Structure 1
Amino acid sequence: MPRRTMTVTRLSYQKRNTRSKWLDVAKLPDNDDLLHFFYSFANSLKDDALIEDDHERYNKIEKLTPFGRTICIVTAPGRFGEEGEVRDVKTGTVASTYGKDHANTVTTHAVLVVPKKGTAALLFTEKAAGVGGTSRLVDLFKTAFQAKYNQFTFRPETLVEGDLWLKNAQLEKVTATLHNYSSDAADKNNPKIVGDLQHSLSPRQGSKYLPAEIWNKLKARQLDEGSLLGFPNNEQPDEVVVRVGSGGVSKSFVLGKEKSAGVSYKLTDAKEVAMSEAAILKYCLEEADDIFGRLGVDWDYTQSVGTWSTEEISRRWGDSS
């Protein structure tokens, strides 16, 4: 199993061409509800709606499960466009082949949580080895939203932790890259190497974090990053990426661009069994309780309980627009 992470997108809307306050997501301009509008839209999409030919990305919604003020979305994202072979990793033998129109997909989950009243909804997106299944869906929904409510702007924003979280976070890993590195050790037995040289520093075995002194000096730009990461000939890396964590949350960013980093919650490591749909929902609801609190939105767990009617479940985009 690939490493699984979770990102969070805040969904909100406001009056177009103004800096007015965010509006209630449970009460859209025509008294519809973002929760039911989103469900009806996703429920109406054709099987090929999420395929991006220009980027050779495949995706399909496998299942939508509404319950209470939530929707669980099971997707199958993947890549296509190349011919190749599927090999047995233990023997190296070819098990099968695939063509340019075949996509290698993985099952991922997403959870939309919309409060009964508030200025923000949250979309949690599970990613497997960095691949998730909601970016195209959100783009299409934004287009539909603004076509229906043309005097308003729908705004999805990746959730970013505040300065206080960053201040309290601890350093998990440092990775630096030197682009277009050329080796001076070239001879007839060691050909000249030109490529990207990457060095990483991780905690020693048994430790979860690197020393706080390293993190503090990196933030203050008081460390020679080339020497710290062991680059040859006093070379300085072109880019330094740090991964920091606090309270079960980890995120990575280019050093010096901390405030633009999106949150990435770690779900499972490589080789660990992926979480079930029920476990994903439970996890998202626990995180939503904390996130909504920081956003000033009233939310409690009981809002996630409640069975939808047959009419609500069967609704599709366009039925009532």
Structure 2
Amino acid sequence: MAKHAFAVYGLKVAPRMHPENKVDVANIDGNGLSVAHLARGFLASIRDSPFTDDRYQQYFSVNDISPAGQQVRFTAGYGGYGQEGEMINVKNHETTHKFARDESATVLSRNMLVVPDKGDTALYFAERYGGRGSASFFLRQMKAAFRRRMLNEQLILHHESLIDHQAWSEYLQRAKLTGVQVVRYGISSDIAEGVSADVVGRLRYEVKPRRGAAGLGQRLKDLLLSKEVKAQQILGLSAELEKDETRLDLDDGNQQRQLIIGREEPPALAYLIPYKGDGRPTDDVVFGAMERVVPVLMQQLGMEISSNWNKGAWSADQLNVRMGAVRGD
């Protein structure tokens, strides 16, 4: 798994019950209110009072909020809590710290949200360090805050994973096929009568490389991707059922992804941050890597963004936009 990387998500706004009617994310209310302004207000509420989710035992904090131009950057801390234990040094096997149920081992991540000059998609960049980040928690809580903030306007915030399609194509070419699965949610008609699909539940059939092999082979991967061969044939299943789900496990040495055949969108693909030093890359390195992808994705989405999109101080009105976190009250 890539140690230094980031994922990208698209944020869209649409009226409740009409997700197809997208709203300009740079001008939600017709008076210049941007998703970035609301995001900064939401982040400020977390900075002032870190979020604890007792239901899922998760902790989320924010600092270093930096709005400029059409973007806002921030650093977030995320971790779980609710268990007691010890931190062990795996080199000398000594206990370095004991933690209680109300302590959280957080991981800090750098994040950036960018809006276009005009368009229906804002970009949210989320750093992942060693496979961990705060994107899921941030998106879930911001969507809840947005829904309450825009209740009278009946607007909803949606999100989706975004990737550079060329990067995805290149990943498919170099990745090894490390597993083939068929997940079956029904049962074949040749199973004995009296056995209910509800009783059987979900059946999983799987094939993995033999011990010592790096993968299942390029030829098999190509045949499955082109649908010239069905996974059911590989697994010795007599037929393909309507609700069967075929999953391909892929690994290029940096990141592992699972592709579900037939799904319109590919899985989220992490962008690697070029860094060979010790420790973690600086803010300049992380945000610089994110910035280089902005124009690529804006063009891919058919939107425009000015060349100085990351420059310019915000006005007092923009900095005063509020959107508080929903804390179960």
Task: Tell me the TM-score normalised to structure 1 length.
Answer: 0.73
Alignment of 1:130-149 (within 5 A): 130-149=131-150
CA contact (8 A) 1:251 1:264 kept: no
The change in CA–CA distance for 1:134 and 1:255 in structure 2 (over 3 A counts) is closer
Aligned to 1:235: none
What does the per-residue CA deviation read over 1:97-135, in whole Å, with 9 as the maximum and x for residues that have no partner?
111111111111111011222211000111223321232
Aligned to 2:175: 172
Deviation at 1:218, TM superposition (A): 3.5
Aligned to 1:44: 45
Aligned to 2:271: 265
CA contact (8 A) 2:2 2:272 kept: no
> Which blocks of at least 5 consecutive residues in structure 2 are unaligned?
182-205, 237-245, 325-329
Task: Establish whether residue 108 from structure 1 lines up as the match of residue 109 from structure 2.
Answer: yes
Deviation at 1:60, TM superposition (A): 0.8
The SS at the match of 2:146 is helix
The change in CA–CA distance for 1:88 and 1:250 in structure 2 (over 3 A counts) is closer
CA distance in 2, matches of 1:60, 1:113: 21
Across the two proteins, how many residue pairs are aligned to each other?
A: 286
The SS at the match of 1:169 is helix
> Which blocks of at least 5 consecutive residues in structure 1 are unaligned?
179-196, 228-237
CA contact (8 A) 2:176 2:217 kept: no
Alignment of 1:2-81 (within 5 A): 3-18=3-18, 20-31=20-31, 32-45=33-46, 49-81=50-82
Task: Establish whether residue 243 from structure 1 lines up as the match of residue 251 from structure 2.
Answer: yes
Deviates more, 1:54-63 or 1:281-290: 54-63
Deviation at 1:21, TM superposition (A): 3.7
Deviation at 1:42, TM superposition (A): 1.5
Task: Establish whether residue 302 from structure 1 lines up as the match of residue 304 from structure 2.
Answer: no
CA distance in 2, matches of 1:15, 1:145: 12
- The code of the aligned residue for 2:94 comes to T
CA contact (8 A) 1:202 1:210 kept: no
Deviates more, 1:104-113 or 1:215-224: 215-224
CA distance in 2, matches of 1:199, 1:44: 47
Task: Establish whether residue 282 from structure 1 lines up as the match of residue 282 from structure 2.
Answer: no
The change in CA–CA distance for 1:91 and 1:250 in structure 2 (over 3 A counts) is closer
CA distance in 1, matches of 2:108, 2:207: 31
CA contact (8 A) 1:172 1:202 kept: no
The change in CA–CA distance for 1:141 and 1:213 in structure 2 (over 3 A counts) is same
Task: Tell me the TM-score normalised to structure 2 length.
Answer: 0.72
CA distance in 1, matches of 2:180, 2:86: 31
Q: Decide which of 244, 256, 259 is 2:261's aligned counterpart.
A: 256
Deviation at 1:162, TM superposition (A): 5.3
CA distance in 2, matches of 1:68, 1:18: 30
Deviation at 1:310, TM superposition (A): 5.5
CA distance in 1, matches of 2:20, 2:230: 42
CA distance in 2, matches of 1:170, 1:202: 23
The change in CA–CA distance for 1:173 and 1:77 in structure 2 (over 3 A counts) is farther
CA contact (8 A) 2:164 2:297 kept: no
CA distance in 2, matches of 1:89, 1:148: 47
Deviates more, 1:94-103 or 1:128-137: 128-137
Among all aligned residue pairs of Structure 1 and Structure 2, give the percentage whose two residues are the same amino acid: 21
CA distance in 2, matches of 1:2, 1:169: 16
Aligned to 2:157: 154
The SS at the match of 1:263 is coil
The SS at the match of 1:132 is coil
CA contact (8 A) 1:289 1:301 kept: no
The change in CA–CA distance for 1:168 and 1:140 in structure 2 (over 3 A counts) is closer
Cα RMSD of the aligned pairs, angstroms, is 4.0
CA distance in 2, matches of 1:104, 1:200: 36
CA distance in 1, matches of 2:61, 2:257: 28
- The code of the aligned residue for 1:64 comes to I
CA distance in 1, matches of 2:175, 2:235: 18
- The code of the aligned residue for 2:305 comes to W
What does the per-residue CA deviation read over 1:59-104, in whole Å, with 9 as the maximum and x for residues that have no partner?
2112211122111110111122222112222211112211111111
The SS at the match of 2:56 is coil
The SS at the match of 1:301 is coil
CA distance in 1, matches of 2:84, 2:148: 39
